[in-house]
Structure formats: C-alpha cells, structure tokens
Amino acid sequence: MTPVEELVEHARTMARRARHPGSEGWRHGSIHDVVLAHGRVFEPAPLPGDVYPALPGHACQAAAILADRHALTYVEGLALLPDSRTVIEHAWCATFGGQVVDAGLSGLSATAYLGVAFTMKFRRSALARSGGTRPILIGDPAGTPAGLEILKHGLAPETTLAVGKPYSEFGTVSGGAGAGAKTRDGLASAA
C-alpha cells in the first residue's frame, strides 16, 4: 500500500469511528469526513532554506504566517509521519502546484498529506472568528464557529481551492468518502 493509500484508509476508518457526538443530520460527522469529501493530496517536499521550522505545537500558526508572508495556500488535514504508522491532524502550506511547505514538523516532511486548501478570504474570516488562535478543522472542529458550521453544513465551493491532486488519482477510489459523508456534489457515499 502506498503512503497516500495508507493515509486515505486511515481517514476512512476514522470517519466510521470518530463521529462527533450529536452529529446526526450534520453534513459531516468528523474532520475525517470533511477531508475525504473535500481533501486533496499534496506532494511532500523539503522545507525551503528561507523558511524556519516552527516550535512544536505551533503548526497552525506557522502555516497561517507562511501563507501570508510567502503567498502560499493554507491547508488543514491529515499527515502520515515518516514512521509510516502515525497519522496526525495537521496544518501546512502548499504552492499552487501542490508542493508542501511544512514548517510544523521541525524541518522534516511527512510521507503523505491529505487536506483541504482554504481560500485566503475564508481562512482569515474563520481564524478571526476564533480569535486567531484555533485552527479551522483540526483539533475539535465543533469547538470553533467555522469548524462547527463546516461539520453541520459542509464547505461552500468558494471556500476551498483546487490545489493538490484528487486522491482518486492515487488508486484510492474504492470506498469513497467516509460513512455517511457527502461529497462536494452532495451525494452520500456508500463506505
């Protein structure tokens, strides 16, 4: 199984298990549902020489700053660490070509990335609503105003960017999005 396939399989498994309590009737039951419905694959790359690693635990803040200072795209989702067993909820940046710029892993790069690329307008609005200190999706998405809206109602097309590649290009199409998740076209998956 490729690293991307491992990451997608992890997301599918967690989508079946990790539904947010009280989420019946919501568009998405967890971050995993959101990532499977809207996420794309990003290409791991070494950290550029002009970007310094962030302190541990500051990936979201570092990604937001990098996005603003270097005209990069802010992404939240899942990363498969180099040990190929550990998947983390994570934030990073990407170029418009889909290459990762990840200051949040102490200068290292994950083996695979699957996430949702947000427009600058949506990211700034969502972060402002949470006081600028909380990520949009990762952690406890129901704990932020924007995250709760995403879980309940889904993501509007104008809030995301088609940066990165659809994970279906990596041979991971079996099973679709997580159980009960609805894809961008609004169709429920049969996972």
Question: H or E segment at 32?
Answer: helix 31-38
Neighbours of 171 (CB within 10 A): 12
139 with 32: CB under 8 angstroms? Answer: no
The tens digit of pLDDT for each residue in 5-45 reads 999 999 999 998 877 777 788 899 888 999 999 999 999 99
Q: Among candidates 114, 136, 100, which has minimal Cα distance to 10?
A: 114
Would you say how long the chain is, in residues? 191
Distances from the Cα of 173 to the Cα of 36, 61, 185, angstroms: 11, 33, 16
Q: DSSP labels for 76-141?
A: EEEEE-TTSS-EEEEEEEE-TTSBEE-GGGTT---SEEEEEEEPHHHHHHHHHHTTTSS-SSSS-G
Q: What is the pLDDT of residue 97?
A: 95
Q: What is the pLDDT of residue 77?
A: 96
40 with 165: CB under 8 angstroms? Answer: yes
The set of residues, in sequence order, having a beta carbon less than 8 Å from that of 33 and lying 6+ positions away, is 15, 177, 178, 180, 181
The mean pLDDT value of the chain amounts to 84
Helix (H, G, I), strand (E, B) or coil at 160: strand
Would the pLDDT of 178 be above 50? no
Structure tokens at 33: 């549902």
Query: 3-state DSSP helix/strand/coil percent for the chain, to nearest 5?
Result: 35, 20, 45
Name the pTM for this structure: 0.86
Distances from the Cα of 59 to the Cα of 13, 41, 42, 74, angstroms: 25, 18, 16, 11
The tens digit of pLDDT for each residue in 110-133 reads 999 999 999 999 998 887 877 766
Percentage of the chain surpassing pLDDT 90? 50
Q: Which amino acid, residue 134?
A: R
Structure tokens at 163: 């940066």
